[in-house]
């Protein structure tokens, strides 16, 4: 209902405007009892003005003293708490949407959904507001979402897709207004309901300029040298121009990423590159449009044709200065369009020249839930004639609700070379009870991609998989999973180079806890060249076979103390044994204070030597309220002799604008060369020291 009456955003939808709005009811369980009414009543109303959409929700609760509310941080998934979530499919294409979520403390989580959840961009942030209140009858919430924060069609009369989810954490219950069927998630917009009656609204922001200023320093020191560098600067975080209601142009200049969270420490027990996710804000908005050409083995990234971390970051994760960048994303004449261009400066210390990066993505929706598209990637390097181009086609077709056929074909080009290909194809049936299918992946030996992530080249992989997920009538058990997958990898000379047989059993309890076991994993690996698995421990070339068994337990995140504990043994691993312990407790002491620890230990004994790896990623979160948020990260990695400390204060002084204070310090042990071997010879972490202090302020101007 359209209203001209005032709406006070206090978390209680009791103003006269709300009393005039029709009530929507009828939430239905997905879990634990599919199709049954939710055990607690939920009702919502929707109002709108020319500029803003308001959604008021009343979550009745007969056991209000058990309402779970522990988190205030923005963009936390809120898995510990009672929550309500809203998805808005503003183009009504049944594929893409905006996701908004909150808990009884009014914490904000938002994300962009692409291709029914094929990509979920949790780092997308826009301007919206929400307030919640707990009362003896349950809890209530009011959302205020400006239309300028969304992307809309140009129609005078709007028709959207909409769905709502309510999670009652102490019962581990999920209830939905419309899409309650198992085998689907909230992100599957084809299962959403409909929102009608929006007319003559302001369809969006025309221009936003968001400049920033940074003050700070960086200090690098080692036993031979010490340097200070002033890092104060100004620039344009983003200048956003709405070309049409559905198409937006973004420009950034002299980009700075001082506030970006640090990467988690990782240790690799193999010889292939590690994958680190993108965390920088400029590359997050509209990122789902550029998610194409992705292939995965079980539990690991195999290929990503476009990985934005290749822009502005070196292979050693050092910052490469970004001079300027531009992006156009959105909908145009029935097509989904994405264009990106970024100019970077040189980084002489790592022999990286001045470069220009470009990406073009075009996609068309076909049938009811399917898409076809094409893409082009290009890198041009200054000072020479070198370049790298990738171009190709992809498609995804969904039939009979659970059957998906998708794949892509891409070709790389560089000076003198123009015939290297990558091909991926997958057929999958994915319902609540049965998951089965087949994957094929092939990448040529000399396929080059300067804008993406490649685990290894010269591979042809065949991967059939099969799993069943029964819901047995066993007291306390919600669902079980029995799965098998067989990965067989050949090179292009048809030689077997890798084989992995996976067998997994998982039991999920009504309490929200679950146990996972891999009673048997069989592995074969052909090592063509010796590699160092740990400093001073080398694996010779040869053919190796080994087995793996593991067991892990993960507790319901709604508990005060939750987390996971895991143990894995790799027996006969490259001729030896490796024992892996993983301990990751999550302690939520209060709604303001939490501790998250992720501690992995690898103990290996191989013919080439023994090693023990300790990797620790610890985070302490303390939030004064929903606007003043702090996080402290402590990291330790003995393999790289690294100890890190990061403190981050974020003051959200108005929606979309922030003040950050960030302090970083990293230390490494001192090494010297003795008999051509590097050895640690002095005290712990008294060699290289890097530290920085950054204060950053953003302030948006909307026109």
Q: What is the mean pLDDT of residues 351-371?
A: 92
Instruction: Calculate the average pLDDT of the chain.
Output: 90
Q: Cβ neighbours of residue 443 under 8 Å, at least 6 residues apart?
A: 303, 421, 422, 423, 454, 456, 457, 458, 459
For the segment 480-509, the average pLDDT, to the nearest whole number, is: 96
Does the structure show a pLDDT above 70 at 282?
Answer: yes
Task: Using a pLDDT cut of 70, give the percent of the chain over it.
Answer: 96
Average pLDDT over residues 578-596: 93
Predicted local distance difference test score (pLDDT) of residue 48: 95
pLDDT at 223: 66
Q: What is the domain count for the chain?
A: 3
Please tell me whether residues 452 and 485 are part of one structural domain: no
Mean pLDDT of 477-499: 96
Same domain, 411 and 471: no
With cut-offs at 50, 70 and 90, classify the pLDDT of residue 244. confident
Residue 524 lies in a domain: yes
In whole angstroms, what is the distance from residue 539 CA to residue 271 CA?
10
Beta bridge partners of 297: 300
At residue 686, the pLDDT reads 58
**Do β-strands 459-468 and 496-509 pair in parallel, antiparallel, or remain unpaired?**
unpaired
**Which contiguous run of DSSP H or E holds residue 488?**
strand 477-490
Q: What is the pLDDT of residue 101?
A: 96
Residue 307 has pLDDT above 50, yes or no: yes
Q: Are residues 571 and 462 in the same domain?
A: yes
Kindly tell me the burial class for residue 673, based on how many C-beta atoms sit within 10 Å of its own C-beta (0-12, 13-18, 19 or more): exposed
Please say if the pLDDT value at position 684 is more than 70: no
Please indicate, yes or no, whether residues 312 and 344 belong to a single structural domain of this protein. Answer: yes
pLDDT at 354: 94
pLDDT of 674 above 50? no
Dump pLDDT digits (tens) for 132-174: 999 999 999 999 999 988 888 878 899 999 999 999 999 999 9
Q: For 90-94, 277-281, 377-381, 670-674, which range has the lowest pLDDT when averaged over its residues?
A: 670-674
In a domain, 1, yes or no: no
- The pLDDT-based confidence of 639 (bands split at 50, 70, 90) is confident
Record the tokens describing residue 270, joined without a space. Answer: 């193999």
- pLDDT score for 261: 81
Q: Are residues 97 and 160 in the same domain?
A: yes
Asked if 594 and 529 sit in the same domain, the reply is: yes
Lowest mean pLDDT among 202-206, 323-327, 462-466, 645-649: 202-206
Does the CA dihedral 198-202-207-208 come out positive or negative? Answer: negative
| Domain co-membership, 71 together with 60 | yes
Domain end point (choices 639, 666, 681): 639
pLDDT at 57 over 70: yes
User: In the prediction, which pLDDT does 74 show?
Assistant: 86
Q: For residues 310 and 450, is the Cβ–Cβ distance under 8 A?
A: yes
Asked whether residue 568 is domain-assigned, the answer is yes
Q: How confident is the model at residue 326 (pLDDT cuts 50, 70, 90)?
A: very high
Q: Which of 639, 660, 687 is the last residue of a domain?
A: 639
Among 630, 664, 666, smallest CA distance to 646 is for 664
Residue 671 has pLDDT above 50, yes or no: no
Is residue 670 included in any domain, yes or no? no
What average pLDDT does range 66-78 have in this prediction? 89
pLDDT class of 680 with cuts at 50, 70, 90 = very low
**Across 285-299, 404-418, 535-549, least confident range:** 285-299
Q: What is the pTM of this model?
A: 0.86
Q: Is residue 219 part of a domain?
A: no
Q: 334 with 287, same domain?
A: yes
Structure tokens at 13: 């939808």
Q: What CATH number should be reported for the domain holding residue 44?
A: 2.60.40.1190
> pLDDT at position 685, please?
54
Between 676 and 391, residue with greater pLDDT = 391
Quote the strand ranges of 491-541, DSSP E.
496-509, 514-527, 531-534, 537-539
Q: Is the pLDDT of residue 281 over 80?
A: no
Confidence band (pLDDT; 50, 70, 90) for 351? confident
Q: Phi/psi at 170 (nearest 5 deg)?
A: -65, -25
**For residue 515, is pLDDT > 70?**
yes
Tell me, yes or no, whether 245 lies in a domain: no
488 found inside a domain: yes
- The mean pLDDT of 419-430, rounded to a whole number, is 95
**pLDDT value of residue 69:** 93
Domain boundary among 457, 480, 498: 457
One domain, residues 299 and 365? yes
Kindly indicate the confidence band of residue 677, based on its pLDDT and cuts at 50, 70 and 90: very low
The whole-angstrom separation of Cα 699 and Cα 653 is 10
The proportion of the chain whose per-residue pLDDT surpasses 90, expressed as a percent, equals 67
The sign of the torsion formed by the CA atoms of 78, 79, 82, 85 equals positive
> Which pLDDT does position 90 carry in this prediction?
93
Residue 416, pLDDT > 90, answer no
pLDDT for residue 687:
62
- Structural domain contains residue 676: no
Do 160 and 74 fall within a single domain?
Answer: yes
Q: Are residues 273 and 337 in the same domain?
A: yes
pLDDT at 673: 44
Please tell me whether residues 393 and 328 are part of one structural domain. Answer: yes
Q: Where are the beta strands (DSSP E) in 80-203?
A: 83-89, 97-102, 109-114, 119-121, 129-135, 138-146, 157-168, 173-176, 193-199
Q: Which domain holds residue 474?
A: 458-626+634-639
Please report the pLDDT score of residue 209 as a whole number.
92
């Amino acid at each position: 209902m359209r209203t001209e009456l005032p709406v006070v955003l206090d978390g209680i939808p009791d103003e006269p405007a709300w009393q005039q709005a029709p009530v929507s009811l009828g939430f239905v369980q997905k879990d634990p009892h599919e199709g049954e009414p939710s055990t607690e009543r939920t009702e919502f109303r929707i109002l709108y003005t020319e500029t803003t959409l308001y959604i008021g929700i009343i979550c009745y609760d007969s056991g209000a003293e058990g309402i779970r509310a522990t988190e205030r941080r923005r963009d936390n998934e809120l898995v510990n708490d009672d929550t309500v979530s809203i998805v808005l499919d503003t183009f009504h294409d049944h594929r893409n949407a905006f996701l908004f979520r909150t808990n009884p403390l009014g914490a904000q989580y938002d994300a962009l959904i692409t291709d029914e959840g094929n990509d979920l961009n949790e780092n997308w942030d826009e301007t919206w507001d929400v307030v919640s209140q707990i009362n003896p009858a349950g809890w209530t919430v009011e959302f205020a979402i400006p239309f300028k924060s969304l992307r809309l069609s140009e129609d005078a009369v709007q028709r959207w897709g909409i769905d709502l989810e309510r999670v009652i954490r102490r019962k581990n219950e999920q209830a939905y207004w419309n899409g309650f069927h198992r085998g689907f998630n909230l992100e599957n917009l084809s299962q959403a309901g409909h929102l009608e009656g929006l007319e003559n609204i302001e369809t969006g922001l025309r221009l936003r300029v968001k400049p920033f200023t940074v003050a700070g320093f960086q200090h690098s020191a080692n036993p031979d040298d010490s340097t200070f560098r002033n890092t104060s600067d100004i620039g344009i975080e983003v200048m956003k121009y709405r070309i049409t209601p559905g198409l937006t142009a973004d420009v950034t200049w002299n980009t700075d990423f001082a506030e970006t969270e640090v990467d988690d420490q990782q240790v690799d027990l193999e010889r292939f590159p590690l994958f680190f996710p993108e965390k920088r804000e400029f590359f997050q908005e509209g990122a789902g449009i550029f998610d194409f050409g992705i292939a995965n083995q079980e539990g690991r990234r195999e290929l990503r044709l476009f990985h934005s971390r290749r822009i502005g970051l070196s292979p050693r994760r050092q910052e490469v200065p970004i001079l300027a960048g531009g992006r156009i994303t959105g909908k145009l004449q029935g097509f989904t369009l994405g264009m990106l261009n970024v100019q970077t400066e040189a980084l002489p210390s790592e022999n990286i020249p001045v470069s220009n990066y470009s990406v073009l993505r075009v996609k068309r929706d076909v049938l009811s839930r399917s898409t076809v598209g094409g893409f082009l990637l290009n890198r041009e390097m200054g000072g020479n004639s070198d370049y790298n181009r990738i171009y190709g086609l992809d498609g995804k077709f969904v039939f009979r609700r659970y059957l998906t056929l998708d794949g892509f074909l891409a070709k790389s080009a560089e000076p003198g070379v123009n015939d290297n290909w990558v091909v991926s194809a997958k057929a999958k049936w994915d319902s609540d009870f049965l998951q089965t299918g087949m994957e094929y992946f092939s990448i040529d030996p000399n396929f080059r991609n300067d804008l993406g992530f490649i685990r290894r080249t010269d591979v042809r992989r065949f991967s059939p998989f099969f799993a069943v997920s029964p819901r047995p009538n066993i007291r306390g058990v919600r669902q079980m999973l029995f799965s098998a997958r067989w990965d067989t990898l050949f090179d292009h000379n048809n030689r077997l180079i890798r084989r992995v047989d996976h067998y997994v059993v998982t039991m999920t309890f009504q309490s929200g806890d679950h146990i996972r076991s891999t009673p048997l994993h069989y592995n074969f690996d052909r090592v063509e060249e010796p590699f160092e698995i740990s400093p001073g421990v080398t694996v010779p070339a040869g053919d190796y076979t080994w087995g793996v068994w593991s067991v892990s337990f993960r507790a319901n995140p709604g508990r005060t103390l939750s987390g996971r504990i895991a143990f894995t043994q790799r027996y006969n691993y490259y001729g030896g044994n490796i024992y892996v312990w993983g301990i990751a407790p999550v302690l939520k002491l209060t709604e303001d204070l939490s501790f998250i620890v992720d501690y992995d230990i690898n103990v290996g004994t191989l013919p080439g030597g023994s090693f023990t790896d300790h990797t620790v990623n610890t985070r302490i979160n303390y939030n004064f309220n929903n606007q003043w948020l702090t996080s402290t990260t402590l990291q330790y990695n003995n393999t790289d002799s690294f100890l890190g400390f990061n403190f981050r204060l974020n003051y959200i002084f108005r929606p979309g604008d922030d003040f950050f204070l960030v302090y970083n310090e990293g230390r490494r042990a001192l090494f010297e060369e003795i008999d051509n071997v590097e050895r640690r010879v002095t005290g712990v972490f008294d060699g290289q020291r890097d530290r920085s202090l950054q204060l950053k302020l953003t302030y948006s101007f909307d026109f």
